[in-house]
Chain A
Amino acid sequence: MSIFSPVGNWFKAPTGTERLWVGLALTWCLIMSVTMPYWHFKGKQNSTGESYKVEASAFLDRANQFIESNKVGEEKGVPIVEPSPGGDAYLVGEMWRWYPILKLKKGQTYRLHISSPDLQHGFSLLPMNMNFHILPGYDHVLTITPTSTGDFEIICNEFCGIGHHMMTGKIIVE
């Protein structure tokens, strides 16, 4: 509350040019507000928010089992894993690495399960700039269909400690 209140009726509805500019700003706000949910459902690079509760140890066990049964190679000590097309794939983000390296096929759809056993990380897929929070205790499921071939780098974009800048991973699409 101000020290000195205005006297009488101070409120004046905008008129003329002010009304025009307020109207334009409001219209633009409404357009942007509608665009956000529209793009959430119609855009093809968004998470649907599918996630489940999971024990960190259970997720790690499942991810390691997935790695053992689908491993096709190794790069600098990190397993390269090729999930079956249309199947489930697992990715672990922990201090300070993403593993395994996933080898996917262009045009095939996968259900990518991502979680962390320690603390919050940021899954950031380059160069298409897809970003998702990865939280311990939650299995975040992304349904993905690669549309181009190449090597796609994963970095962590949520500061997670002294090795944060070294936390990189990779998805290979053939």
Chain B
Amino acid sequence: MEEERKPPLGQRILDNMWLLLALGLAVPTISYTLWGIIELISMGDATLP
């Protein structure tokens, strides 16, 4: 029986459900939620000229 080769990178990523879960949470949290919170915190007060 032929010895099985190491799985290709695409398979290793797609089979790693914890990595996918972490990415699925981290990407929107950083690019959407965190970015929005930083925008709100850094917003200045209106001068209403």
Contact = CB atoms under 8 A, between A and B. Distances in A.
Contacts of A138: 43
Contacts of A38: none
A59 B17 contact: no
Contacts of B47: 52
Interface residues of A, number: 19
Interface stretch (A6-14, A40-48, A72-80): A6-14
Interface residues of B, number: 16
Interface of B: prevailing SS? loop
A58 interface: yes
B7 to A, nearest CB: 5
A3 to B, nearest CB: 14
A52 B39 CA distance: 11
A75 B17 CA distance: 62
Contact of B17 (A1, A111, A139): A1
Interface string A74-92: 0000000000000010000
Contacts of B49: 88, 111
A8 B43 contact: no
Nearest to B13: A11
Contacts of B24: none
A32 to B, nearest CB: 17
Contacts of A8: 4
Given A8-B4, A9-B4, A58 B48 contact: yes
Given A9-B7, A52-B46, 7 more contacts: A11-B8, A52-B44, A52-B47, A54-B45, A58-B46, A88-B49, A113-B48
